[in-house]
Amino acid sequence: MKEIFKLPRVSWSCLRVWQRDRDAYMKFYKVGLVGSLGDPILYLLAMGYGLGNFLEQMEGMSYVKFIAPGLVISSAMFSASFECTYGSYLRMIYLKTYDAIIATPLSIEDVVVGDILWGATKGIINGMIMFLVIWAFGLIDSYWAIGIPLLIALVSFLFASLSMITTAFVPNFEAFNYYITIFLTPMFFFSGVFFPLTKLPPWVTTLSKFLPLTYSVDISRALIYGTPSWIIAWWTLLLSVPALISFGLAVNLVKRRVIK
């Protein structure tokens, strides 16, 4: 049990694993981008410009402007999560990539850290593309939005680590449905992406305070529309601490699974 909570050994060699994942991705990146960005862009068009025409303003802004910041962050969340669940599990169990790499001088810690960093990179790529999409639609009002890339990186790292913890336990691909259906999807709908939390039942509002996406969306909206305050520092801390803890747990748990 102590091994799960110890600080993982991280070396620069993990970047070799990241490079390997990047090279594999670049062979089919066009297909990957279309698949990853299809949903958030569809939500922006269908709900923002479609349903938004039938809704009153949300918190003093049009509906499409209200949902845009959340779609940027959720795009990063889903991309990082899928890469470190299905992608990592495929490399670990079926392709035996982990076994092949640890037969070299690289350690299992290098492999897991490199995979998490690559998952975070996927989240950053897709989150930034979605950010550029809403910029092209004229939905960014403030120079504070320059901080969005850092937020995307933090959110991507957090969910890559959380997803890798899930990968350390699941027995098969189908088991990821529980993680997505019970955790990711409800969080997507009940973290303030589509509706103000004050409009939802009190129990939903209370529950949302325990969801990392809630604080991510609040920060994103504050930066994009130029309404930052000191509470953003607190929200950032509420994301950073779980991210670091999840990262350490993910490395140690996957290491234990591979060794066994």
Q: Is the pLDDT of residue 201 over 90?
A: no
Q: How far apart are CA 171 and CA 90, in angstroms?
A: 12
Q: Is the pLDDT of residue 108 over 70?
A: yes
Neighbours of 201 (CB within 10 A): 9
Residue 202 is predicted with a pLDDT of: 87
Q: Is the pLDDT of residue 177 over 90?
A: yes
Q: Is the pLDDT of residue 4 over 90?
A: no
Backbone angles phi, psi at 58, to 5 degrees: -105, 115
Under the banding of pLDDT at 50, 70 and 90, the label for residue 13 is very high
Condensed to tens digits (0 to 9), the pLDDT of residues 44-79 reads 878 777 776 777 777 778 888 999 999 999 999 999
β-partners of residue 61 are 58
pTM, to two decimals: 0.93
Q: Is the pLDDT of residue 28 over 90?
A: no
Backbone angles phi, psi at 55, to 5 degrees: -115, 150
β-partners of residue 58 are 61
Q: Which of 131, 104, 111 is nearest to 11 (CA)?
A: 111
Neighbours of 111 (CB within 10 A): 29
